[in-house]
């Protein structure tokens, strides 16, 4: 099939920053793109060939959009899976598949999948409603501390809470959820696996994620992870097993814990480009976004090695700031060597909203990490 400068149409469900960054590469290859998003101001609107406003969870909207394209993908998990399944039956190629997304969309079914396929993960319990947790504690089936996770629609730290006592449960929504044993860990790691329909597979280097203590969001992604080779190999082999069991086509970001005893446990996965791979635009031979396009179109996979060490800093809205966004001191970080800001195009900021990221590249990972700290202290995402 001729994808380049042709009548071929690639459809993307979701027009957020991940879609926007994927469109850098469809532009490079002159691949015709159609994007569906509920917001008229979506970051992707300017970079695609056709932009449609519509609800990603509405069955008919997704069907009508999907019928017009040759290959359909998504940059967000909260889309109508029944519609994807119908489109597959009608001959539209959907990558990653509706089957994979259906399993991943719900954290309870995702965890059961790991258990059924002997993939190491933290012990967990499922609940139809949060209100049932009290009973499990009373009967000794569950003890503090544990992690509560909403089964659906959690992202960037929403839908996750560490529960240390009864009062921590009071404000939680009464929804289908899981509880997980709180794992003491040394590191949070991630591996992005790229796999095309022919079964060719490549992995990006293991990255280390440093989290913001309050927002439960990644503050720094460090590549390569500062861990022994043996641990990196173990993390990579677990990630490859997860992708193989899903028979995944596309990118699969596998987030993992390195425990105090150096076991590797899968935390969760994302079947799309992921925050842990943003560094790759500047630091890798092939960015994760170009790789996603190669995967879903069945093209040869690109080189996943890093050219240089990279650290990624998330730019999130400052606390107590809501309204029209201002990137304070951005000129100061542009003056630093190896520093590249990416602004996502969201006009309105609010506390902890992801507004952009900054990549810092350097031959020396320690130097890159120091500059990242400086970047973090310098730039502020505030409102007018």
- Which residue among 78, 94, 110 closes a domain? 94
Measured CA to CA, the distance from residue 304 to residue 171 in angstroms comes to 43
CATH code of the domain covering residue 241: 3.30.470.20
Please, what are the averages of pLDDT over each run of 10 residues along the chain (384 residues)? 96 97 98 98 96 98 98 97 98 97 96 98 95 90 92 78 91 94 93 96 97 78 97 98 97 97 96 97 98 97 98 95 98 98 96 96 97 97 96
Residue 2 within any structural domain of the chain: no
Both 128 and 152 in one domain: the answer is: yes
Q: Are 19 and 12 in contact (CB under 8 A)?
A: yes
Q: Are residues 177 and 190 in the same domain?
A: no
pTM: 0.95
One domain for residues 213 and 342: yes
Query: In CATH, what number is assigned to the domain containing residue 37?
Result: 3.40.50.20
Q: Which residue range is the domain that position 166 belongs to?
A: 123-181
Please identify, among 75, 94, 113, the residue that sits at the C-terminal boundary of a domain.
94
Q: Distance between CA atoms of 284 and 307, rounded to whole angstroms? A: 5
Binding residues: 107, 149, 180-183, 188, 267-268
Measured distance CA(376)–CA(378) in Å, rounded: 6
Rounded CA separation 357/344 (Å) = 8
* 115 in a structural domain: no
| Residue 3 covered by a domain | no
Are residues 201 and 294 in contact, defined by beta-carbon separation less than 8 angstroms? no
Domain boundary among 132, 164, 181: 181
Q: How many Cβ atoms from other residues are within 10 Å of residue 261's Cβ?
A: 8
Establish if 37 belongs to a structural domain.
yes
Report residue 327 as tokens: 């990137």
- For residues 147 and 206, state if they share a domain: no
Question: CA separation (Å) from 91 to 25, 71, 76, 253?
Answer: 26, 10, 22, 27
> Looking at the 3D structure of the chain, how many domains does it have?
3
- Cβ proximity of 11 and 68 under 8 Å: yes
Cα gap 345→42, rounded to integer Å: 8
168 and 280 fall within a common domain:
no
Which two tokens mark 32? 């015709």
Distance in angstroms between the alpha carbons of the first and the last residue of the chain: 49
Q: Do 172 and 193 sit in the same domain of this protein? A: no
pLDDT of residue 155: 65
Element spanning 300, H or E: none
For residues 176 and 198, membership in a common domain is answered with no
Confirm if 53 and 40 have CB atoms less than 8 A apart: yes
Domain identity same for 296 and 190: yes
Whether 327 maps to a domain, the answer reads: yes
Note whether 97 and 73 are within 8 A (CB): no
Residue ranges of the binding site for ATP: 107, 149, 180-183, 188, 267-268
Please check whether residues 169 and 263 belong to one and the same domain.
Answer: no
Which CATH number fits the domain that encloses residue 168? 3.30.1490.20
Report pLDDT for 254. Answer: 98
- Give pLDDT, residue 157: 63
243 and 156 co-located in one domain: no
Q: Is residue 137 a part of any domain in this protein?
A: yes
The reply to whether 192 and 262 lie within a common domain is: yes
Q: Is residue 324 part of a domain?
A: yes
The count of C-alpha atoms lying within 13 angstroms of the C-alpha of 17, restricted to the half-sphere facing its C-beta, is 16
Is there a domain that residue 242 lies in?
Answer: yes
DSSP letter, residue 302 = P
Using only C-alpha atoms, the chain has a radius of gyration, in whole angstroms, of 21
Residues ≥6 apart with Cβ < 8 Å to 310: 222, 223, 279, 280, 282, 283, 284, 359, 360, 361, 368
133 and 84 together in one domain:
no
Return the pLDDT at 156: 61
């Amino acid at each position: 099939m001729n994808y380049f400068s042709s009548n071929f149409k690639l459809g993307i469900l979701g027009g957020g920053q991940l879609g926007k960054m994927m469109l850098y590469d469809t532009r490079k290859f002159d691949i015709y793109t159609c994007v569906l998003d509920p917001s008229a101001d979506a970051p992707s609107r300017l970079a695609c060939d056709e932009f449609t406003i519509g609800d990603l969870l509405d069955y008919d909207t997704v069907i009508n959009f999907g019928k017009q394209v040759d290959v359909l993908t998504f940059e967000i998990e909260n889309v109508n899976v029944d519609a994807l399944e119908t489109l597959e039956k009608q001959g539209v190629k959907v990558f990653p598949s509706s089957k994979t997304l259906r399993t991943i969309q719900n954290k309870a079914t995702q965890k059961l999948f790991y258990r059924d396929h002997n993939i190491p993960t933290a012990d967990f319990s499922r609940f139809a409603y949060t209100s049932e947790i009290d009973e499990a504690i009373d009967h000794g089936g569950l003890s503090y501390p544990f992690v509560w996770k909403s089964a659906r629609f959690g992202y960037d730290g929403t839908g996750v809470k560490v529960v240390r006592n009864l009062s921590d449960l009071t404000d939680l929504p009464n929804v289908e959820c899981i509880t997980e044993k709180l794992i003491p860990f040394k590191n949070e790691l991630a591996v992005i696996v790229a796999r095309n329909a022919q079964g060719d597979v490549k992995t990006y280097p293991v990255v280390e994620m440093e989290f913001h203590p309050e927002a439960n969001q990644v503050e720094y992604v460090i590549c390569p992870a500062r861990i022994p080779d043996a641990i990196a190999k173990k993390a990579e082999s677990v990630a490859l097993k997860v992708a193989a069991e899903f028979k995944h086509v596309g990118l699969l970001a596998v987030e993992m814990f390195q425990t105090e005893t150096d076991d590797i446990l899968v935390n969760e996965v994302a079947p799309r480009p992921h925050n842990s791979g943003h560094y790759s635009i500047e630091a890798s031979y092939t960015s994760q976004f170009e790789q996603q396009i190669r995967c879903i179109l069945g093209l040869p996979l690109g080189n996943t090695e890093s050219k240089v060490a990279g650290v990624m800093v998330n730019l999130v809205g400052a606390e107590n700031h809501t309204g029209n966004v201002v990137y304070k001191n951005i000129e100061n970080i542009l003056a630093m060597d190896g520093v590249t800001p990416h602004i996502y195009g969201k006009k309105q900021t609010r506390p902890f909203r992801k507004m952009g990221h900054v990549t810092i590249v350097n031959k020396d990972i320690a130097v890159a990490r120091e500059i990242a700290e400086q970047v973090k202290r310098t730039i502020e995402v505030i409102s007018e």
